[in-house]
Amino acid sequence: MSDLKKHLYPVLLAGGTGTRLWPVSRELYPKQLIKFIGDDSLMQSTVKRIAPMTITENIRVVCGRHHFHEIARHMDEVGISAENKIIVEPCGRNTAPAILLALLHILAEDKDALICVFPADHVIKDMDTFCKKVEEAAILAQQGHILTFGITPHYPETGYGYIEGAGLIADNAMAIKRFREKPDKKTAQEFIKAGNFFWNSGMFCFKASVMKEEFDTHVPDLVRQMEDFIASSGTHDDGYEKLPNISIDYAIMENTDKGAVLPSDFGWSDIGSWKSLYDFLEKDENGNVIDGNVIEKNTKNSFIMSYGCLIATNHMENMVVVETPDAVFVSEMEKSRDVKFIVEALKEDGRQEHVKHKTVYHPWGTRTVLEKNGTYCVSKLVLYPKSGMEFPFSGSVAHLTVVKGKATLRKKDSILNLDQGKTSSFVKEESLNLENTDSYDLCIIQTDML
């Protein structure tokens, strides 16, 4: 095993909510957990991408508490144990605290660590070039440089921030002259023409000890607060909530004299909107990206995705149509990023469609609300193999029907086994635990009288 591989720690940032991909991406089930491309979620694709470049024990994931169990399940599904690899944030405080939290944990284990930071929800097409660039960045990081991967722009994108490079400082890396906010179309065209501007990918590589010194120099209060939080074993959530909401660019990269940009071109996309997902995916002969239960006639250059209901389109161009069981989003393609304003409106109205889907994921399985009105609620419960939970009453009386598997229900003084096709009723006052002792999923229809 090479020394480089032994000390290389990929850190995946998996704490975003992906509001620009609503209604599929939601607070409790954000875009990194969703299978937009192929059979893997974005999180799973990222884990599989970085696994060959290090030893799997070195992989770390920073995520929110609500996503911990699903992140772990997704990792386990692709054959990489999540044990001792997930670092939990009590709440999201932007990239500087997230990276510092992982940095301090890793430094406590390995003072010679090299850290590569990757968002867990990005996609990359050219794996060979990507791996070569990571190795190149790691070598430069060993020399004391703090690398950011700057993506060579192929068109004047206005949805990304840019990095302006100066002269070469080592091999292919350039000094960072400055960071530029998302430009308008004219400015983006000027950036492309200049040739020394790169998309800010949010990916980094640095020596842990070097980055720690930069945090100590530029944001010492943040370091002190984070060290206090870690010393409390992560039990003082209010302390984490008081951390500054600051990005790594503002905290470190715009202030350090060790920063460098490594020009990179490996088919990268942040999948930050329906438009960017459309741009990344292959199109049919009419320029459409179509997924799910869709019938289209005379439709061109559009993105259409159904998660169940039939979508039928006719004489439509340059549109986005996305259906989920409780919401449908329709937009002009170029304006699809503005869905974030719809999410903000949902928050202001106190609606739940931005928070969760009809199906909610739990450590034990899933719960899907099938129908709900003023007198009853019908749900589908799926319990994972060898899992159990305290039974979730929604009303005064619950009727349970097993449609797949065998349920074990434990009351205070008795045990009841329900086989497939059997029904039983329970009152809310009963203390009830539901278990699946088999090696396959258990499915139950629950009807609550409200």
Q: What pLDDT does 223 receive?
A: 97
Question: Is the pLDDT reported for residue 172 higher than 90?
Answer: no
Segment 3-30, tens digit of pLDDT: 778 899 999 999 888 899 999 999 999 9
- Quickly count: other Cβ atoms within 10 Å of residue 222's Cβ: 19
| pLDDT interval class at 273 (50, 70, 90) | very high
Residue-wise pLDDT tens digits, 111-163 = 999 999 999 999 999 999 999 999 999 999 999 999 999 999 999 998 899 99
Residue 144 vs residues 1, 109, 141, 255: alpha-carbon distances, Å:
23, 20, 5, 15
Residue 312 has pLDDT above 60, yes or no: yes
CA 191 from chain centre, in angstroms, equals 29
Checking if the pLDDT of 184 tops 50, the result is yes
Residue 210 φ/ψ, nearest 5 degrees = -65, -45
Q: What is the pLDDT of residues 40-69, one digit of tens each?
A: 999 999 999 999 999 999 999 999 999 999
Listed in sequence order, the residues at least 6 apart from 278 whose beta carbon sits closer than 8 Å to its beta carbon are: 289, 303, 320, 333
> At residue 175, does pLDDT exceed 70?
yes
pLDDT of residue 235: 61
Length of the chain equals: 450
Which tens digits make up the pLDDT trace of 25-34? Answer: 999 999 999 9
Burial 87-106 (b: 16+ CB within 10 A, else e): bbbbebbbbbbbbbbbbbeb
The number of beta carbons lying within 10 Å of the beta carbon of residue 15 is 25
Token digits of residue 155: 């068109």
pTM score of the predicted model: 0.91
Instruction: DSSP for 120-155, please give it.
Output: TT-EES-HHHHHHHHHHHHHHHHTT-EEEEEEPPSS
pLDDT at 238 > cutoff 80: no
Amino acid 236: pLDDT = 63
CATH of domain 362-449: 2.60.120.10
Cα gap 337→148, rounded to integer Å: 25
DSSP-derived 3-state class of residue 205: strand
pLDDT for residue 2: 66
- Mean pLDDT, residues 326-349 taken together: 95
Evaluate if residue 233 carries a pLDDT over 80: no
The CATH number given to 3-269 is 3.90.550.10
Q: What is the mean pLDDT of the chain?
A: 93
Please give the structure tokens belonging to residue 53. 């470049």
pLDDT at 42: 95
Q: Give the whole-angstrom CA distance, residue 12 versus residue 42.
A: 11
Output the pLDDT for position 1.
43
Contacts of 131 (CB under 8 A, 6+ apart): 52, 53
In the chain, where are the structural domains located?
3-269, 274-348, 362-449
